Structure 1
Amino acid sequence: MAGQNTAQIAITWSYWGNPWEVRVNERIIAVFESENPDIKVNSLHKPWSEYFQHVDGWLASDNPPDVLFLTSIQRYIEQGYLASLEPLIAEDSYNTGDFYPQLLSLFRHRGQLYGFPRDNDTKVIFYNKNLFDRAGLDYPQENWSWDEFFTTAKALTRPEQPQYGVAHSRDWLPMLMWQNTLNIADHQAYSREHMVSTPEGIAALAWFVKLIQQTSPLQHIDVTTSEAVSYFTRGQAAMLFGNHAVVPELLQFQGINWGVAGLPKGKVRVNKIGGAGYVISEKSGKKAAAWRFLKWLVSQKGQAIFTESGAMMPSRQSVSRSRVFSQLKDPAHARVFIEETLLGLKKVDYANDGKVDDILSRNLNEVLLGKRDFDQAMQQVKQDVEQLNAGD
């Protein structure tokens, strides 16, 4: 045994995550090491709020993590920090055909593949069946519209109880523009500025503000997922906008009989392709061991372990259609997540998106607080964005 430990190759894997996610990752490491006794995996964990500032330092150092859990990887590729996986894929004749192509595209750059997706940030609407039954409403149907969604949320809003139609989240904002335009072919050209400079974008914002004003318990734009989930699990919001990461928390509340529906459509039905995955540092001196570990992370077994937590929409088509995923609560839920994943479009980040988001939040929050009307706020948004661009 001592000789075996001496021969081990030690690699480092960095990731973010809540305590439950750390526990799942520790289990993954334990199973991998039991099957690969010549490799020792040391984990490097930071919470989401700190992770990326550490990543910049790690990757710039002489000894970065060998394998990293990352999202929005393009800038790291352009800085030369990430290794192309193409030589490793070719040497192993590794088959990438089981991954959802839309998700795999997130990790391509100039024809080279730099990583593999773990999951997808597919957005759905969770709904409380008990509250729907009490109100005498039909459950959401596939292909429902913004108007149908708003009417349903309005019918479920009873502030005196208190009960509201929907616990929204700011994560809906990037998709509103896509949902309200027929010109989906150009969706990657839409920066956040298009939301404040086009009729389709302004109409989408107006709908979202009206939805919040009349049906949400949270009268501000910047609602976090945890805030929204807390209202849903207390039975104070009949619907919840979110992704598969909220499922473990919902499963803890046995008193809530909940279902899953696809997003309502504006002019078109569309969702988002997004999510994080695993990459290898270009500076890693242990790429062979790192590659073995990365392959195992995204293998059917590796994905099944994480999928059992209830917290992810698998990136492998075979796992998303397996009993592991479909039996988490209801096979119908799995079908909705798969359908919505197939409707996903790739989000492109632009340099000013974060600053425009701040401008939007500041001004629209004043509308929600009753300090100005929507048209006044949008005029101010346009002025603020013009000043931002002038400053560039």
Structure 2
Amino acid sequence: MAGPRRALRAAVALALAGTLVMACGADDGGSEPLTWSMWASGGEEQQVWHELAERVSREDPEITLRLETSSFDAYFAELDSRFARGDAPCVVSMQSLRTEGHTQGMLPLDDLIARTGFDVTDFDTSVMEGLSADGKQYALPYDVGPVILTYNKDMFRGAGVPEPEPGWTLAEFESAARELTGERTYGFVAAPQDVWMWPMVLTKSGARPTDGAGRLRLTTPAMTEGVQWYADLAARKRVAPRLPGADPAFAETQFLSGDVAMAASGPWALLNLKNQAGFQVGLTTIPAGPDGSRTYSAGSGFGISKSCPDPERAFKAITLMTARKQLEWLGGVGRAYPSRESAQHAWYENARLAGAREVLEAANATAIPLRTTKHWDRVNHLLNQHGPALFSGSSSARQVLERVQSQAGTG
């Protein structure tokens, strides 16, 4: 069953978290290794990044990457501390949602791109935008993807509920969630994490968490309406499990348990889902609200810290890490929906999920980058802190959002 496998992987992740993994590139007394920081959720994912480091070294023996990993939840706080101390790794992994808050320690890449003539036209424009701030590019992307819904095909079939297709509506989503909810099962899992909650709010009410200038806007009527509807899936309608406490992994854990039929996710999560789920996984679009199906895109990439003593060699490394050849490989093992459009075929060939291309193309057609603030980690922390009260119904969306807005600040 999925439970023992998850426990084993959790033990492996705990044992490996924060450890140092040395790439097996050619380090024979020549060029100093370049340190590279990355998040990894366990041994399998860590091995993927280890292999990428080795592949880069085989491509250019002058480059050896020394990989350092930590959990995603700890990664950005640790990175900030290292930025402040001036000892950050040369190659820094960055998520588009958090770029705005970490530029103080990162080197803008625009001059290096221009000086080397590196061609960025093959990269998806939305994630390039997401990895930029104030008109400057801070990372080259390796993956991108729209937020979609994953669903448990076994639960749908067992309950006799038609599987959702791209273009389905919020009314159809709620109807399916009700039919799939039983004594010990739920139709959906709702949680206050940014990449999972905001697309559902966007499609419901059109509300966005920030304005065009990167200021936090959580207290508008449309935002309050959308978040209240989302929280009520657990608090009032009872088609989603109650949130027991501040737990960033709650949504994924609940979906993988096999007792929840639907969850928000992204193509970048396919590797873990395929390996850990004890059921057949399906994909569909975020259900359509008044203005159709709407969603956000997100992605990640590699940048360079200001403390790196050899930024030119680090730039060469990240161009090799994001080369078409390497992104086809990452797509082929299911770790990334490649940021290069020319490499995305590898993801579809590996996924082998019926209708995956139709779902992702439909989602990409309406996806917009999720723009955040410089203090986005603080926003997420507060949402997780106050989430249990919101999702239990003991606090309203208006109360919680006003509290988060006040405590996190506007920018």
Alignment of 1:1-392 (within 5 A): 5-19=28-42, 20-71=44-95, 72-77=98-103, 79=104, 81-120=105-144, 122-159=146-183, 162-171=184-193, 172-181=196-205, 188=212, 193-194=217-218, 196-198=219-221, 200-213=222-235, 214-220=237-243, 224=247, 226-252=249-275, 256-268=279-291, 269-320=293-344, 322-330=345-353, 332-350=355-373, 365-366=388-389, 368-369=391-392, 372=394, 377-378=396-397, 380-381=399-400, 384=403, 388=407
Distance (whole Å) between structure 2 residues aligned to residue 386 and residue 254 of structure 1: 36
Amino acid at match of 1:249: N
TM-score (norm 1): 0.83
What is the SS of the residue equivalent to 2:33? strand
Unaligned runs of 5+ in 2: 1-25
**Once the two structures are superposed, what CA deviation does each residue of 1:185-220 show, in whole Å capped at 9, x if it has no partner?**
x954686543x331x222212321332243445212
Amino acid at match of 1:142: P
Q: CA deviation at 1:263?
A: 0.6
Distance (whole Å) between structure 2 residues aligned to residue 51 and residue 188 of structure 1: 27
Distance (whole Å) between structure 2 residues aligned to residue 360 and residue 229 of structure 1: 17
Q: 1:262 to 1:326 in 2, by over 3 A?
A: farther
Amino acid at match of 1:22: Q
What is the SS of the residue equivalent to 2:155? helix
What is the SS of the residue equivalent to 1:170? coil
Q: 1:116 to 1:37 in 2, by over 3 A?
A: same
Distance (whole Å) between structure 2 residues aligned to residue 32 and residue 357 of structure 1: 34
Distance (whole Å) between structure 2 residues aligned to residue 134 and residue 102 of structure 1: 38
Q: CA deviation at 1:168?
A: 2.5
Q: Judge conservation of contact 2:151–2:281 (CA < 8 Å) in 1.
A: yes
What is the SS of the residue equivalent to 1:153? helix
Which shows bigger deviation, 300-309 or 14-23? Answer: 300-309
What is the SS of the residue equivalent to 1:37? coil
Which shows bigger deviation, 56-65 or 81-90? Answer: 56-65
Amino acid at match of 2:305: S
Distance (whole Å) between structure 1 residues aligned to residue 101 and residue 387 of structure 2: 31
Q: CA deviation at 1:290?
A: 0.8
**Once the two structures are superposed, what CA deviation does each residue of 1:25-81 show, in whole Å capped at 9, x if it has no partner?**
11011111122112222122222233223322332345432111023223443x3x3
What is the SS of the residue equivalent to 1:164? coil
Which shows bigger deviation, 96-105 or 255-264? Answer: 255-264
Q: CA deviation at 1:340?
A: 2.0
Q: 1:96 to 1:134 in 2, by over 3 A?
A: same
What is the SS of the residue equivalent to 1:95? coil
Distance (whole Å) between structure 2 residues aligned to residue 356 and residue 52 of structure 1: 14
Distance (whole Å) between structure 1 residues aligned to residue 304 and residue 352 of structure 2: 34
Q: CA deviation at 1:105?
A: 0.7
Amino acid at match of 1:347: L
Kindly, what percent of the aligned residue pairs are identical?
19
Bigger Rg, structure 1 or 2: 1
Distance (whole Å) between structure 1 residues aligned to residue 299 and residue 408 of structure 2: 29
Distance (whole Å) between structure 1 residues aligned to residue 144 and residue 124 of structure 2: 9
Q: 1:224 to 1:336 in 2, by over 3 A?
A: farther
Distance (whole Å) between structure 2 residues aligned to residue 387 and residue 250 of structure 1: 37
Distance (whole Å) between structure 2 residues aligned to residue 224 and residue 382 of structure 1: 18
Which shows bigger deviation, 58-67 or 141-150? Answer: 58-67
Q: Judge conservation of contact 2:204–2:290 (CA < 8 Å) in 1.
A: yes
Amino acid at match of 1:25: W
Q: Judge conservation of contact 1:168–1:223 (CA < 8 Å) in 2.
A: no
Distance (whole Å) between structure 1 residues aligned to residue 275 and residue 410 of structure 2: 49
Q: 1:330 to 1:55 in 2, by over 3 A?
A: same
**Once the two structures are superposed, what CA deviation does each residue of 1:250-290 show, in whole Å capped at 9, x if it has no partner?**
32357522210011122232211223211112332212211
Distance (whole Å) between structure 2 residues aligned to residue 4 and residue 127 of structure 1: 46
Q: 1:331 to 1:299 in 2, by over 3 A?
A: farther
Amino acid at match of 1:300: R
Which shows bigger deviation, 327-336 or 122-131? Answer: 327-336
Distance (whole Å) between structure 1 residues aligned to residue 409 and residue 81 of structure 2: 32
Q: Partner of 2:21 in structure 1?
A: none
Q: Partner of 2:10 in structure 1?
A: none
Q: Judge conservation of contact 2:143–2:301 (CA < 8 Å) in 1.
A: yes
Q: 1:108 to 1:251 in 2, by over 3 A?
A: closer
TM-score (norm 2): 0.79
